[in-house]
Amino acid sequence: MRLLIHKNHEEASLWAANYIAGRMNAYTRTAEKPFVLGLPTGSSPLLIYRELIRQVQEGRLTFADVHTFNMDEYIGLSADHPQSYRYYMKENLFNHVDIDHANVHLLDGMAKDPQEECRLYEEAITRLGGIDLFLGGMGSDGHIAFNEPGSSLTSRTRIKTLTEETRNANARFFGGDPANVPATALTVGVGTVMDAREVLIIVTGRNKARALHAVVEEGVNHKWTLSCLQMHPRAIIVCDEDAVDELKVGTVRYFKDIEQDHI
């Protein structure tokens, strides 16, 4: 696992956007062999999306022959609900880049048969050859997507019940009341993320420091599901100085030191 420590959220986001754009540009894409990108929502990736949009508008990047799979979706929110992740993705990325909307894959939180919806999602990922790069954020309890503490580290796309901590954290998008946050969601599994050829996670802010310590310095553990990255052959966490507040001085020094010479 690589851990890149930037001064602040802005610099970490710019680095991540350039990394993603670099991977997309380097990949020889066709309709039959598209680049497959996994995507998150939340506040963490917003500046990354803004930078990707800028690069598309400047003609330096294209989403032609790119397929995207989003990580998760609340159960019970319609596509036009402003807090649905489908709505978020349109507003913050898809409406502003040259992606073929048929190539956008999102879980349907209103699906009549949610289990079948999850099965078909996994099938679609497999049919497209798997995810090349999965971008993600991290919840303050160390979760990836909506894989709350206790999730199986081999889990696949399925229904999950959200914890109180997650509903409290996301209440800010629902008028400040955790009771307004849906209690359940559809989410890719830890195993789904682990199958991606590469995983890039952005973690910024002091409120993520406790979880980042567990993920980086403790063992692989289902209580902090992002710790699964320790088992991934190509994983990067890009973070800011605030997020590393709870790491040992020696750990921070080590990662800064090896990144100096990274090629």
CB of 261 to ligand GLP, least distance (A): 30
Place of tokens 């020094």: 253
Verify whether residue 100 is a known catalytic residue: no
CA 148 – CA 61 distance, rounded (Å): 34
Verify whether residue 81 is a known catalytic residue: no
Q: Which is nearer to ligand GLP, 97 or 243 (CB)?
A: 243
Pick the catalytic residue: 9, 67, 143, 213? 143
Asked whether 97 and 53 are in contact (CB, 8 A), the reply is: yes
Q: Which is nearer to ligand GLP, 17 or 71 (CB)?
A: 71
Asked whether 189 and 154 are in contact (CB, 8 A), the reply is: yes
Query: Residue 160 corresponds to which tokens in the numbers above?
Result: 């999950």
CB of 120 to ligand GLP, least distance (A): 20
Q: Which is nearer to ligand GLP, 145 or 199 (CB)?
A: 145
Determine how many CB atoms are found less than 10 A away from the CB of residue 103: 20
Nearest to 215 by CA among 232, 233, 201, 228: 228
Verify whether residue 148 is a known catalytic residue: yes
Q: Which is nearer to ligand GLP, 18 or 83 (CB)?
A: 83
Residues that bind ligand GLP (CB under 6 A): 40, 42-44, 71-72, 137-139, 145-146, 166
CB of 114 to ligand GLP, least distance (A): 16
How many helices and strands in the chain, by DSSP H and E? 8, 10
Query: Residue 198 corresponds to which tokens in the numbers above?
Result: 């590469």
Asked whether 166 and 159 are in contact (CB, 8 A), the reply is: no
Pick the catalytic residue: 51, 65, 72, 132? 72
Verify whether residue 141 is a known catalytic residue: yes
CB of 225 to ligand GLP, least distance (A): 11
CA 106 – CA 44 distance, rounded (Å): 19
Q: Active-site positions?
A: 72, 141, 143, 148
